Amino acid sequence: MSIFDTMEKRHHVVKYKPEPVPDKIMKDLLYKAWKISPSKNNFMPYNVNVIGPHNQEEKTKIWEMTVDNHKYYEEIGNATANKHLVHKYKFKINPNYEHVRFNSHLLVFTSRVCPEPNKFYQRMVQNEGHFAEQCELDQVLDLAEATSVEVGMFASHLTGLCIENGIDVSYCACIRKNVNQWRQFPYLWYDKEKQYARVHLIMSIGYGEHYRYQWLARHNTTDQDMKPEYYDIIKWI
């Protein structure tokens, strides 16, 4: 299949099958995604934390955080009368978050302070005055948006590799960025003294059973859930 044909097969998963993706396959796909993903000066200032099939307790905790985040921001929306949010309704858990709780593998992408540049960039620092900003905690925090771009590229490459192998993926960015929210997950800290965690993206992987597009079709709402028009997004200068 072409890249377009492969990526067009991706759909948001509402429910995965209980069958896990074999670890051997998962490790191979992660290795390939690591191999082909670009990174500024080859720092790769992020970690991909993999929670496997036998760690349901951790997945449930993270799912609870996404639900809490959803409730938190909708309460803010009601308080501020944000016109883009629905107001004056009773909070319900969004079923589209279930993929975070029940899946084969859950990936949590976090920022990483790099121990040191590679040998080539070390020469650039020593001989040409370049600055290895990804090696300094404060700089890493300032570069969070750039890191999110790199995380997105890794996730996109991994998505294509998964789909090629008949494996589904879904994403979740409805997460709290606050440090305190992640203290119950010490493996996500990259600075244990400051107990700081910056989570960029959550990605679930598995064999899909029910998909969001099917739910939309059953409720005759497919034509209501559309992207903006092509020409509203792509601007030729």
How confident is the model over 28-71, as pLDDT tens digits?
Answer: 999 999 999 998 778 788 999 999 999 999 999 999 888 877 66
Closest to 42 measured CA to CA, from 109, 110, 111, 120: 120
Superfamily (CATH) of domain 3-223: NADH Oxidase (3.40.109.10)
Give the residues of the chain that fall short of pLDDT 70: 70-92, 115, 117-138, 177-180, 189-197
Tokens standing for residue 3: 């890249």
- Give the rounded distance of the alpha carbon of 154 from its chain centre: 10
* Cα–Cα distance, 207 to 58 (Å, whole number): 20
* Cα–Cα distance, 16 to 231 (Å, whole number): 35
Domain ranges of the chain: 3-223
- Its pTM stands at 0.84
